Amino acid sequence: SAVISQKPSRDICQRGTSLTIQCQVDSQVTMMFWYRQQPGQSLTLIATANQGSEATYESGFVIDKFPISRPNLTFSTLTVSNMSPEDSSIYLCSVTPEMDTEAFFGQGTRLTVV
Amino acid sequence: GQQVMQIPQYQHVQEGEDFTTYCNSSTTLSNIQWYKQRPGGHPVFLIQLVKSGEVKKQKRLTFQFGEAKKNSSLHITATQTTDVGTYFCAGAGGSNYKLTFGKGTLLTVNP
């Protein structure tokens, strides 16, 4: 299993600014995932964060907008850059400690851009 | 790429009624997982199905994986107000750790 501490839990930000979301895992994991979940919608994968290499982004998401750091096997950050109201959403980090097993999620960051 | 369709999008039931949500993948899956997300919460793992035709039960919840490993269902018998939330299926392709989530089914239960 894995316990993930994600912060901040929520924030209200001005457009044009950036917000960095942090996820700390209580055990070492190979891959961490960052998702976006708009209200009432499903989870959309933003990117996969690998330790020691650049993150792998899904179609529609780019590094300049969502830079990711993965300095070690227990920690990752996602930055939402140059925010606009369209970035208002819930952002979730997730880990799957072993391939093809359950995923564990952080508590989520509810972001509102005004 | 892999797509996972899930229906219905919403389901409102009276307490005590049954509920079923269905998932269908565009590709064969190595396994399918089910998650529950309570309002304001994060997704929580319920179960994983791996074998063709597999059926698993958790109290009032019954999970099935199709013979072709492309579809799955979650059935809740005699719903309770504690069952309220969004149920997501998530398919795994097998060669990596990535999951593809269905759109989810929001279940509301009228007491």
Cβ contact (<8 Å) for A100 and B102?
no
Strands B71-76 and A104-105: unpaired
Task: Work out the mean pLDDT of chain A and round it to a whole number.
Answer: 94
* CA B17 – CA A70 distance, rounded (Å): 46
| Mutation to test the A interface, candidates B35, B38, B97, most A Cβ within 10 Å | B97
Dihedral angle at the C-alpha atoms of A59, A64, A67, A71, nearest 10 degrees? 110
Task: Read off the pLDDT of each residue in A13-32 and give the average, rounded to a whole number.
Answer: 96
pLDDT for B34: 98
Which of these ranges, A7-11, A79-83, B29-33, B52-56, has the smallest mean pLDDT? B29-33
pLDDT for A101: 84
Neighbour count for residue B12 (Cβ, 10 Å): 11
Instruction: Tell me which chain A residues have a C-beta less than 8 angstroms from the C-beta of B103.
Output: 41-42
Helix (H) or strand (E) holding A32, with range, is strand A31-37
Structure tokens given for A90 = 């819930």
pLDDT for A5: 97
Per-residue pLDDT reduced to its tens digit, B84-110: 999 999 998 766 678 999 999 999 999
Task: Read off the pLDDT of each residue in A43-60 and give the average, rounded to a whole number.
Answer: 91
Structure tokens given for A94 = 């997730």
Task: Read off the pLDDT of each residue in A32-42 and give the average, rounded to a whole number.
Answer: 93
Question: Taking 80 as the threshold, does the pLDDT of residue A9 lie above it?
Answer: yes
Q: What is the DSSP letter of B97?
A: S
Cβ contact (<8 Å) for A43 and B88?
yes
pLDDT for B94: 60
Q: Taking the mean position of all CA atoms in its chain, how far away is CA B60?
A: 14
Instruction: Tell me which chain B residues have a C-beta less than 8 angstroms from the C-beta of A45.
Output: 98-100
Q: Taking the mean position of all CA atoms in its chain, how far away is CA B67?
A: 16
* CA B86 – CA B10 distance, rounded (Å): 9
Cβ contact (<8 Å) for B45 and A41?
no
In chain A, % of residues over pLDDT 70? 100
pLDDT for A51: 82
pLDDT for A49: 93
Given a cut of 50, the residues of chain B with pLDDT beneath it are none
pLDDT for A108: 97
Question: Taking 70 as the threshold, does the pLDDT of residue A75 lie above it?
Answer: yes
pLDDT for B96: 65
pLDDT for B1: 73
Dihedral angle at the C-alpha atoms of B69, B39, A75, B94, nearest 10 degrees? 0
In degrees, to the nearest 5, what angle opens at C-alpha B62 toward C-alphas B73 and B14?
85
